[in-house]
Amino acid sequence: MWSLLKDTAASWSNHKAARLGAALAYYSIFSLGPLIVIVVAVAGLTFRQGAVRGEVSAQLQDLLGPAGAQAVNAMLLGASKPTEGILATVLGVGTLVFAAVGLVVQLKDALNTVWEVEPPKASGIWHFVRTYVVSLAAVLSLGFLLLVSLLLTTALAAGGKYIAPYVPEVAMHALGSALSFGMITLLFAMMFKWLPDTYVAWRDVWLGAAVTAALFEIGKLLIGLYIGKQGLESTYGAAASLVVLLIWVYYSSQLVLMGAEFTRAYAKRRALGNISASGDPPPIAAPGVDHYVHVAAGRSTYAAAIMAFLVGWLFGRRGDRNQCAGRTRAI
How many residues make up the chain in this entry? 331
Q: What is the pLDDT of residue 209?
A: 92
Burial class from Cβ neighbours inside 10 Å (0-12, 13-18, 19+) for residue 324 reads middle
Decide if 40 contacts 314 (C-beta within 8 A).
Answer: no
40 contacts 56 by C-beta, under 8 angstroms: yes
Residue 176 DSSP symbol? H
With contact defined as beta carbons under 8 Å apart, do 250 and 21 qualify?
Answer: yes
Q: CA-CA distance, 55 to 37, in Å (whole number)?
A: 13
198: phi then psi, degrees, rounded to nearest 5: -160, 160
Query: pTM of the predicted model, to two decimals?
Result: 0.68
pLDDT of residue 296: 37
In this prediction, residue 138 carries a pLDDT of 63
Note the pLDDT of residue 288.
37
User: Maximum CA pair distance of the chain?
Assistant: 71
Domain count of the chain?
Answer: 1
pLDDT at 236: 66
How much is the pLDDT for 205? Answer: 93
User: 10-residue block means of pLDDT along the chain (331 residues)?
Assistant: 85 89 82 73 69 71 67 67 62 70 81 83 62 63 60 64 73 79 87 86 91 84 69 64 78 88 89 56 40 41 42 40 42 42
pLDDT at residue 263, rounded to an integer = 92
Q: What is the Cα–Cα distance from 27 to 23, expressed in whole angstroms?
A: 6
| Cβ neighbours for 232, distance < 8 A, ≥ 6 positions apart | 67, 240, 243, 244
In terms of residue numbers, what domain contains 128?
A: 2-279+286-327
